[in-house]
Amino acid sequence: MTAAEGSGQLALALDKARSRASQAALATGRRPETVKLMLATKTQPAALIRQAIALGFTLIGENRVQELVSKAPVLADLPHRTHLIGPLQSNKINAALRHVECVETVASLGLAEQLSRRSTDRPEPLEVMVQVNTSGEPTKSGCQPAQAADLAAMVGALPGLRLVGFMTVGLNSPDAGAVLGSYLALRVIRDQVVASGEAGTAEARELSMGMSGDLELAVQAGATIVRLGTAVFGPRAPAT
């Protein structure tokens, strides 16, 4: 395949993803612009991400700090925003903070406090989301749903951070109703927190949820950011 054919395919896949998200929004009475498409770029080379950014898809989600660090210089001249959507270990915080506008995977007060301490001298506050394990699957990261509102209130009050919303990795199941339920659970938490009046929670409106296989369900439940990997880039090489 030539490079031109490759970028034609990418443009097509991006178009298709955007129209899926738009259809899903319209089907539930929402304006398509209320749903942002994030490219989940794990394992994808920076050159391909550059093509996607050039096509107007400027919201990037990376899972691993190592990949963030290696791709950032190659993307630096293009306007884009990067969110960390994978787990963050303490020893990688400084490296991550140099390259992200938002950490979506805050699941403990301990991590939030570390991020806060290292963010007080940023020109802009670090955006954060509270990650919630809405599926109950033990392999998934995130705080328990019952703890999410308290955690959000504590995170919202920390200096250097701006709580912008909530993130979840939905239930992995063929049962659409159950998947929708896991997404609605995150929306209920968001609505409760935004209505709480707690300091630093009024802007926590984002719902980052939904992936290639289930974005329609997430949008139906209120997703404002859907995170798309395979729908845009095709199947990933197996993790190494």
Residues 6 or more apart whose CB falls under 8 angstroms from that of 51 comprise 6, 7, 10
Q: Binding of ligand PLP at residue 173 (CB under 6 A)? A: no
Q: Binding of ligand PLP at residue 231 (CB under 6 A)? A: yes
Query: DSSP alpha helices (H): ranges in the chain?
Result: 3-27, 46-54, 65-75, 93-97, 109-117, 145-156, 176-194, 215-220, 230-233
By three-state DSSP, how is residue 34 classified?
helix
Q: Binding of ligand PLP at residue 212 (CB under 6 A)? A: yes
CB of 198 to ligand PLP, least distance (A): 27
Q: Binding of ligand PLP at residue 85 (CB under 6 A)? A: yes
Contacting ligand PLP (CB under 6 A), which of 37, 152, 171, 211? 211
Nearest-angstrom CA–CA distance, 155 and 189 = 15
Contacting range for ligand PLP; rule: CB under 6 A; set: 10-18, 92-100, 172-180, 210-218:
210-218
Interactions with ligand PLP, residue window 65-84 (CB under 6 A): none
Sign of CA dihedral 225, 226, 227, 233: negative
Q: Cβ closer to ligand PLP: 183 or 200?
A: 183
Nearest-angstrom CA–CA distance, 106 and 219 = 22
Contacting ligand PLP (CB under 6 A), which of 44, 63, 119, 133? 63
CB of 218 to ligand PLP, least distance (A): 10
By three-state DSSP, how is residue 170 classified?
coil
Q: Binding of ligand PLP at residue 228 (CB under 6 A)? A: yes
Q: Cβ closer to ligand PLP: 21 or 231?
A: 231
Q: Binding of ligand PLP at residue 142 (CB under 6 A)? A: no
Q: Cβ closer to ligand PLP: 4 or 239?
A: 239
Closest by CA position to 17, among listed 34, 39, 33:
39
Q: Cβ closer to ligand PLP: 101 or 154?
A: 101
Number of residues this chain uses to bind ligand PLP (CB under 6 A): 13
C-alpha dist (Å) from residue 12 to 5, 15, 148, 155, 232: 10, 5, 38, 40, 9
By three-state DSSP, how is residue 205 classified?
coil
Contacting ligand PLP (CB under 6 A), which of 18, 30, 42, 50? 42
C-alpha dist (Å) from residue 145 to 148, 166, 211: 5, 11, 20
Q: Cβ closer to ligand PLP: 198 or 214?
A: 214
Contacting ligand PLP (CB under 6 A), which of 14, 37, 40, 59? 40
Contact yes or no for 63/82 (Cβ under 8 A): no
CB of 135 to ligand PLP, least distance (A): 13
The footprint of ligand PLP (CB under 6 A) covers 40, 42, 63, 85, 169, 211-213, 227-231
